[in-house]
């Protein structure tokens, strides 16, 4: 380990080395990493320290242990831009990935007090409610909920189906051009139902984004809630040119 990093715990230094090698391409999906004994000998650390580093990498989704086979680099993280107002489908296609969407719930319902407050409508007003499971290359990635005042998009359920972009429908049929979003991001633990849909362990750490979407000219049209797998998604910010 580096002498200038003597104040950083050795397990943290080893974890950082692996993450840097993954990001630089020195380690790729499916590569087997050395055993704890081999790591201890390579870096002159204890096996306990090596085990701690590997356990942290596993919890954060960088590696996976396979019984009787060893530990391997797991799925490559998917980068998701949190700044650009864009459909999920187009954003993933632009990265050369194959996105798909499964509709879990689609209904028109009456707004409860909290939904009405957030959407700036009256309790009891109709709301279009949509819950979908997002996948990339067949792998469950995120659960997404959207609520939109129904008077802005009457009969929208006739246009929505699996693998159809909500934002495209809003623009194409209702003239709602989305221009910006206000988002709040935090770590959340997936409950049993969410974990089952996402294909992860119960109470796995996820990234929760709660957002408000606006159309021109500064018209508030949607509240959204996205629960993304913390082991697969890497959010970043890059304003459009």
Task: Report the percentage of the chain scoring pLDDT > 70.
Answer: 89
Q: Which distant-in-sequence residues (6+ apart) come within 8 Å of 79 by Cβ?
A: 95, 234, 235, 236
CA-to-CA dists, residue 79 to 91, 95, 232, 234, 237, angstroms = 10, 9, 9, 5, 10
Evaluate whether 193 touches 227 at the Cβ level (below 8 Å).
Answer: no
- H helices of the chain, in order, are 10-24, 36-43, 47-59, 88-93, 113-119, 166-174, 192-198
Strand partners, 105: 131
Residue 76 has pLDDT above 80, yes or no: no
pLDDT at 85: 58
pLDDT at 34: 93
pLDDT at 204: 86
What are 179's two structure tokens?
């221009």
Q: What is the mean pLDDT of residues 93-109?
A: 86
Question: pLDDT (tens digit, 9 = 90+) per residue, 122-154?
Answer: 999 999 999 999 998 888 999 999 999 999 999
Question: pLDDT (tens digit, 9 = 90+) per residue, 147-180?
Answer: 999 999 999 999 998 888 899 999 999 999 888 8
pLDDT at 187: 92
Evaluate whether 232 touches 61 at the Cβ level (below 8 Å).
Answer: yes
Evaluate whether 62 touches 31 at the Cβ level (below 8 Å).
Answer: no
User: What's the CA gap between 111 and 59, in Å, rounded?
Assistant: 38
Task: Write down all domains in the chain, each with its CATH number in brackets.
Answer: 3-73 (1.10.10.10), 78-236 (3.40.1410.10)
Q: How many CA atoms lie within 13 A of 143 on its CB side?
A: 19
Nearest to 229 by CA among 180, 167, 193, 187: 187
Predicted TM-score of the model (pTM): 0.71
What are 164's two structure tokens?
């159809």
Nearest to 134 by CA among 91, 178, 81, 75: 91
Q: Which distant-in-sequence residues (6+ apart) come within 8 Å of 175 by Cβ?
A: none
Evaluate whether 195 touches 201 at the Cβ level (below 8 Å).
Answer: yes
């Amino acid at each position: 380990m580096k002498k200038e990093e003597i104040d950083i715990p050795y397990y943290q230094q080893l974890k950082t080395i692996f993450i840097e090698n993954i990001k630089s391409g020195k380690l790729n999906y499916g590569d087997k990493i050395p055993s704890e004994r081999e790591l201890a000998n390579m870096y002159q650390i204890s096996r306990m320290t090596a085990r701690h580093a590997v356990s942290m990498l596993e919890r954060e989704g960088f590696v996976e242990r396979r019984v009787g086979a060893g530990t391997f680099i797991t799925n490559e993280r998917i980068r998701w831009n949190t700044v650009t107002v864009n459909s999920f489908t187009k954003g993933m296609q632009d990265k050369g990935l194959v996105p798909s969407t499964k509709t879990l719930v689609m209904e028109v319902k009456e707004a409860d007090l909290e939904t009405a407050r957030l959407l700036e409508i009256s309790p009891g007003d109709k709301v279009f409610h949509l819950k979908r499971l997002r996948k990339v290359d067949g792998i469950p990635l995120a659960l997404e909920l959207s609520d939109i005042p129904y008077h802005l998009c009457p009969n929208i359920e006739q246009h929505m189906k699996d693998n159809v972009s909500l934002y495209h429908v809003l623009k194409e049929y209702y003239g709602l051009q989305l221009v910006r979003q206000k988002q709040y991001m935090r770590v959340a633990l997936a409950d049993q139902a969410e974990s089952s849909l996402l294909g992860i362990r119960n109470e796995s750490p996820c990234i929760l984004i709660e957002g408000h979407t606006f159309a021109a000219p500064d018209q508030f049209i949607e509240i959204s809630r996205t629960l993304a797998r913390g082991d697969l998604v890497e959010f970043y910010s890059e304003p459009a040119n």
